[in-house]
């Protein structure tokens, strides 16, 4: 029964405690810890993400104001700004990174049958990065430019449910294409990239993994056409060609054939050229697949707007990564909640309701479904730049 239990406690019931404990033990997270455990840290920072707290002092004030409820929320240690700051600095961020991956595994199973706009049997991923600007004097370890600091979030997004499968946090100066070296490519899956990731040696590694890629050709791309396939120009497809790359080193990097598709988008009046190693899918489907890459951009926009990943509670690398991974855990946890409770609401709406009802003692399903609030059309973004 949920009578007498806060909404926050009921939300945390969806946290697999066994998996969390395994992550803590893997990195000795509670070594010499007496009162403020890794679970306490996770719960406090999850509360901060859900209620949009601005600082450690803000977190301390809010939780101390609800002191009689903390024990029933699962927070056993004394909450103070100094204790939180110390935990963020010394507790290994990999604890929360591994736990986020455990949540992602659960979420992907729940969203395996989710529709993303195209009827395909293959798993489809979009890969991209976003930059979070930082102050160089405060974050000197996050090297980017001479007078600027930044970090990058390189994210592989499963388009079925928009679940982030892989997230790598690097310094801002790391080039996007280098992040491909850390990916393990799944046979039969389709990976979508923009032009920044066109590196033929790396694309050939995807091909050798029996996976498929869809990307855009650079403007200076040089090739040799072998033959052309018939196309239906009413779909916007202008050409479907089988080609090989030219140039001694380029041909050495990618010795196999490629498929080159020219497409005209009537909405944006843009002429686009796609490259892929998939020779089976219709050319129009290839164009629509690339358009789905926009979902990873929307994901970045969403988490920057609704989670605390642009302003940080600590300045060390460990504190920043800890906060980001707990934010990702909260995002995936809410996605799991939405699926398991069969809620017909957007993640945005669920987060908004949770932010003002965490201390209420009401069944969480009732709190999230009884309101007359109507979801906003959150995806009505200006999509004139879908093909960038």
Overall residue count recorded for the chain in this entry = 388
CB–CB of 70/79 below 8 Å?
Answer: yes
What's the pLDDT score for residue 85? 94
Domain that holds residue 282: 195-291
Is residue 268 included in any domain, yes or no? yes
Under 8 Å CB-to-CB from 335, ≥6 apart: which residues?
A: 107, 110, 111, 161, 163, 347
**Predicted pLDDT at 383:** 43
Return the CATH number at 231: 3.30.1370
Judge whether 151 lies within some domain.
no
243 in a domain, yes or no?
A: yes
**Residue-level pLDDT at 381:** 44
* Domain membership flag for residue 153: no
In a domain, 237, yes or no: yes
User: What is the structure's pLDDT at 375?
Assistant: 55
Q: Which of 52, 32, 46, 44 is nearest to 76 (CA)?
A: 44
pTM of the predicted model over 0.85 = yes
Q: Is residue 96 part of a domain?
A: no
What local confidence, expressed as pLDDT, does residue 3 receive?
57
Residue 222, in any domain of the structure: yes
pLDDT of residue 373: 54
How many structural domains compose the chain? Answer: 1
Regions of the chain where pLDDT drops below 50: 1-2, 377-387
In this structure, is residue 166 part of a structural domain? no
> What percent of the chain clears pLDDT 70, i.e. is strictly above it?
94
């Amino acid at each position: 029964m949920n009578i007498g239990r806060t909404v926050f406690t009921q939300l945390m019931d969806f946290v697999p405690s066994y998996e969390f404990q395994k992550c803590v033990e893997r990195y000795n997270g509670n070594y010499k810890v007496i009162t403020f455990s890794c679970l306490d840290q996770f719960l406090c920072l999850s509360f901060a993400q859900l209620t949009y707290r601005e600082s450690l002092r803000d977190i301390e004030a809010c939780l101390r104001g609800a002191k009689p409820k903390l024990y029933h929320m699962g927070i056993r240690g004394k909450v103070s700004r100094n204790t939180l700051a110390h935990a963020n600095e010394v507790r290994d961020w990999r604890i929360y990174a591994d736990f986020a991956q455990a949540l992602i595994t659960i979420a992907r199973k729940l969203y395996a049958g989710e529709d993303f706009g195209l009827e395909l049997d293959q798993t489809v991923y979009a890969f991209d990065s976003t930059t979070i600007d930082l102050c160089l004097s405060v974050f000197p370890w996050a090297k980017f430019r001479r007078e600027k600091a930044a970090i990058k979030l390189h994210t592989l997004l499963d388009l079925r449910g928009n679940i982030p499968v892989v997230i790598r946090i690097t310094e801002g100066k790391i080039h996007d294409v280098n992040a491909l070296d850390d990916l393990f490519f799944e046979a039969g899956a389709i990976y979508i990239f923009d032009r920044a990731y066109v590196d033929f040696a790396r694309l050939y590694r995807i091909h050798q993994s029996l996976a498929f890629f869809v990307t855009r050709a650079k403007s200076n791309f040089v090739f040799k056409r072998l033959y052309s396939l018939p196309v239906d120009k009413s779909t916007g497809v202008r050409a479907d060609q089988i080609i090989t790359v030219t140039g001694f080193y380029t041909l050495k990097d990618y010795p196999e054939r490629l498929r080159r598709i020219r497409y005209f988008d009537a909405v944006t009046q843009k002429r686009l050229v796609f490259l892929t190693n998939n020779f089976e899918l219709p050319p129009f489907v290839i164009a629509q697949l690339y358009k789905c890459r926009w979902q990873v951009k929307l994901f970045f926009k969403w988490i920057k707007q609704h989670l605390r990943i642009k302003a940080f509670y600590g300045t060390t690398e460990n504190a920043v990564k800890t906060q980001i991974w707990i934010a990702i855990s909260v995002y995936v946890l809410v996605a799991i909640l939405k699926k398991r409770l069969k809620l017909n609401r957007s993640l945005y709406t669920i987060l908004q309701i949770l932010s003002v009802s965490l201390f209420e003692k009401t069944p969480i399903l009732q709190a999230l479904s009884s309101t007359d609030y109507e979801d906003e059309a959150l995806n009505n973004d200006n999509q004139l730049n879908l093909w960038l």
